[in-house]
Amino acid sequence: MERISVTVRLNGINLQFDEPAFARLQAYLKDAERTLERNPDRAEILGDLEHAVADQCMRRVPADRKLVTLAELEPALEEIGAVQDPGIAEPPPATATRRLEQISEGAVISGVCQGIARYLGVDVTLVRVIALVLLLVSGGTMIVVYLCMMLLLPFAAPQRGGEPVRRIPAKCREFVEALRSKLSTVAS
Partner 1 sequence: MTIEPKLAPIRKGLLEFLVLKIVGARSVYVPDILRRLAGTEFATQEGTLYPLLSKLRREDLVQYEWQESDAGPPRKYYRLTDAGKAQLAALDDYWIRINRTISDIGH
Q: Which of 8, 32, 68, 176 lies at the binding interface for partner 1 (CB under 8 A)? A: 32
| CA distance linking residue 17 with residue 14, whole number of Å | 10
| CA distance linking residue 166 with residue 71, whole number of Å | 26
Q: Which of 8, 21, 54, 176 lies at the binding interface for partner 1 (CB under 8 A)? A: 54
Please classify residue 70 by burial: count the beta carbons closer than 10 Å to its beta carbon, then call 0-12 exposed, 13-18 middle and 19+ buried: middle
- Which secondary-structure segment (H or E) carries 55? helix 42-60
State yes or no: residue 61 binds partner 1 (CB under 8 A): no
The single-letter DSSP state of residue 155 is B
Q: Which of 24, 51, 60, 128 lies at the binding interface for partner 1 (CB under 8 A)? A: 51
> What's the closest the beta carbon of residue 53 comes to partner 1, in angstroms?
9
State yes or no: residue 49 binds partner 1 (CB under 8 A): yes
State yes or no: residue 23 binds partner 1 (CB under 8 A): no
Decide: 71 and 24 in contact? Cβ < 8 Å.
no
> What's the closest the beta carbon of residue 29 comes to partner 1, in angstroms?
11
Stretch that binds partner 1, among 48-56, 62-70, 108-116, 173-181 (CB under 8 A): 48-56
State yes or no: residue 58 binds partner 1 (CB under 8 A): yes
Q: Which is nearer to partner 1, 40 or 139 (CB)?
A: 40
Stretch that binds partner 1, among 67-75, 76-84, 125-133, 165-173 (CB under 8 A): 76-84
Q: HEC string of 71-121?
A: HHHHHHHHHHCCCCCCCCCCCCCHHHCCCCCECCCCCCCCCHHHHHHHHHC
Interface residues with partner 1 (CB under 8 A) are 12-13, 32, 36, 39-41, 44-45, 48-49, 51-52, 54-55, 58, 79-87, 90
